[in-house]
Structure 1
């Protein structure tokens, strides 16, 4: 769907063809932002046709500022997008203001620090990410579509539909199958825990790319050697992953590294408590203490992960209480509508500074 450059107020570039978390974030956010009246269009490859988009030929029309605002906003999420925005604003003298969302949790290179220093507005996706920024910024954690991810009316019926054992409780781990995602930690934890817990099974949902195919084969071989092929199931990748969350009693996010990580939010919105490693924003999106919705443990620790999962698996009352609190926690703090509104506040601040 082509956008009208004259009425576009915000541009979300995506200068990378391969699907990534950044691309997914744009795909989910832009329709919500437009429903909130932000007049946003995407630019670049790798995005679905239903999103309003600008073409390269439309960029020449950006020399004229929109009627409603002193400048358009170019909302970058990668270095190359910051650079393109700088060229258009500072060399081609287009009336643009540049916003950058940072998800990196590491010390920035000199080049990245230079690019960031030239932005008009900075957003950090977590407080951990913000700790690496040396310039003024806002913190806006990601949100999710809480209508898509919701608890089941009948969990047994969901399992029946998905051909899963109805009488078993199920622990799940979803996402790309690779070492970075800690899939091996989940499998090893389940191999350790399931023999003494006959009422539980486990599922791994996601795919392994060609470069990680041998990793997946080794995991399946471990499960076979443990004699648990009928209780640790590799179910592949699914577009209706929301249905698979509804089949779970416990979700495990064992990542060794993560930029942010949406799966614990998706699980909690589905009424599922979470055991997660201390990476990405997991420490900021899982509630602990009296309002517990899950547990965060040391990353890359099989012992800690297995112990935390065992505690939830063996305590029905604790697990049920955490499950009951999980969705209200997401609705109060982590909806995608809330994220879009926070972005709007950043845009307004940038426009106010442009007027000044």
Structure 2
């Protein structure tokens, strides 16, 4: 009798994009016939979503940043790995990638997925340490899976030598879809920014740009959807036309309500929010960081891309979109078609499964019944 391989996902980030990617991958991989479990901190959106769906969660206490707790976190994770006896470990983002590779040290096939490089996110001292670790730790990754070709090039350019695979992010185009409704009633044009309130996502740049947008587009409103460490500072700097909606368990209604969805990130691998917004048929405006150009429909960069950390350019581009309804409608239609063709979650999940298949050296096999037509790997 053939037994399906056991995949252990390791994640420290329990909120935001990484949590959504892991949740979606687990669901798709279970549907494809794999055995799957997740080691992650027991509190937060990720563990709650997995438990609600009756998924296997292995509680792993870990802080967001490396520090004096790291040795204990690595020991606890090593015990979890030994107890779970996975065939393959898939570590997500910087902290889990560091801990998992130290815990496993190449004794099992290990996939590392940065979800944006840690050395781009830190101050200069920590950035040097993070880059040194990524260069060294690559020896313990059987594959490094990047979510964009730009993310891969950034790693390679900075001296990370690894066996690469690029798997663009995907979203559930059934969940994120146009439905013809506006969930939020607005007296004027509505701009929505969905993301963790932190330096990476650049909401401070957006707030510096917003007064010029509000001056040139009477009645325009901006809503920031999300929570995070910068919430208090951002609230104190925000004008009256900016609303803070807090974290949302489902951002789809906000996307559908928006006239434009904006994400002024300082760095990314490939952000999920613009993909989700385009899947809902909404135009997006993003900063030209890793993965941004690859996430947009061909030719959309002229209207949908601005340089990072440039409030004046951001204000001009937002104003232009808000003042051009036919362009917004056209971009929404093109964006939806592009995401369905290039960034459907099923395609991304199948591509990750193909990575596992290569590393485990087993063929794909069809799965009967409700999963017919999907891929399964079995030993």
Q: Counterpart in 1 of 2:74?
A: none
Residues 165-210 of structure 1, C-alpha deviation per residue, up to 9 Å, x if partnerless? 2x5321111222344322122233231122332253322222243x
Alpha carbons 2:142, 2:163 under 8 Å: kept: no
Cα distance, 1:249–1:149 mapped onto 2, change above 3 Å: same
For residue 250 of structure 1, the aligned residue among 219, 237, 260 is 260
CA drift of 1:258 comes to 2.9
- Any idea what SS the aligned residue of 2:144 has? strand
Matched, 1:137 2:155: no
Q: Counterpart in 2 of 1:68?
A: none
For residue 174 of structure 1, the aligned residue among 191, 194, 203 is 194
In angstroms, what is the RMSD of aligned CA positions? Answer: 2.8
Residues 113-132 of structure 1, C-alpha deviation per residue, up to 9 Å, x if partnerless? 23212322231221122111
What pairs with 1:1-356 in structure 2 (closer than 5 Å)? Answer: 8-14=5-11, 16=12, 19=15, 21-46=17-42, 47-48=47-48, 49=51, 50-53=54-57, 59-60=82-83, 62=85, 72-77=87-92, 78-86=97-105, 89=107, 96-105=108-117, 106=119, 109-131=131-153, 132-133=155-156, 134-155=161-182, 158-159=183-184, 164-165=185-186, 167-198=187-218, 200-209=220-229, 212-220=230-238, 223=239, 229=240, 231-289=241-299, 295-352=304-361
Cα distance, 1:25–1:331 mapped onto 2, change above 3 Å: same
Give distance in 2, aligned partners of 1:111 and 1:135.
13
Alpha carbons 1:293, 1:322 under 8 Å: kept: no
Query: How does the TM-score come out when normalised to structure 1?
Result: 0.79
- Any idea what SS the aligned residue of 2:110 has? strand
Q: Counterpart in 1 of 2:373?
A: none
Please identify, of 249-258 and 171-180, the stretch whose mean Cα deviation from structure 2 is larger.
Answer: 171-180
Residues 77-105 of structure 1, C-alpha deviation per residue, up to 9 Å, x if partnerless? 31111121227x2xxxxxx3222223344
CA drift of 1:215 comes to 1.1
- Any idea what SS the aligned residue of 1:109 has? helix
- Structure 2 residue ranges without an equivalent (≥5): 60-78, 120-127, 364-379
CA drift of 1:267 comes to 1.0
- Any idea what SS the aligned residue of 2:193 has? strand
Q: Counterpart in 2 of 1:66?
A: none
Query: How does the TM-score come out when normalised to structure 2?
Result: 0.74
Residues 315-346 of structure 1, C-alpha deviation per residue, up to 9 Å, x if partnerless? 12111110111111111111221111000111
Alpha carbons 2:260, 2:284 under 8 Å: kept: yes
CA drift of 1:245 comes to 1.0
Give distance in 2, aligned partners of 1:300 and 1:328.
29
Q: Counterpart in 2 of 1:67?
A: none
CA drift of 1:253 comes to 0.8
Give distance in 1, aligned partners of 2:231 and 2:335.
34
Aligned residues: 315
Alpha carbons 1:287, 1:294 under 8 Å: kept: no
Cα distance, 1:292–1:256 mapped onto 2, change above 3 Å: closer
Give distance in 2, aligned partners of 1:297 and 1:154.
29
Cα distance, 1:272–1:293 mapped onto 2, change above 3 Å: farther
Alpha carbons 1:251, 1:275 under 8 Å: kept: yes
Give distance in 2, aligned partners of 1:57 and 1:344.
23
Alpha carbons 2:18, 2:115 under 8 Å: kept: no
Give distance in 1, aligned partners of 2:296 and 2:353.
25
Cα distance, 1:84–1:301 mapped onto 2, change above 3 Å: same
Cα distance, 1:34–1:275 mapped onto 2, change above 3 Å: same
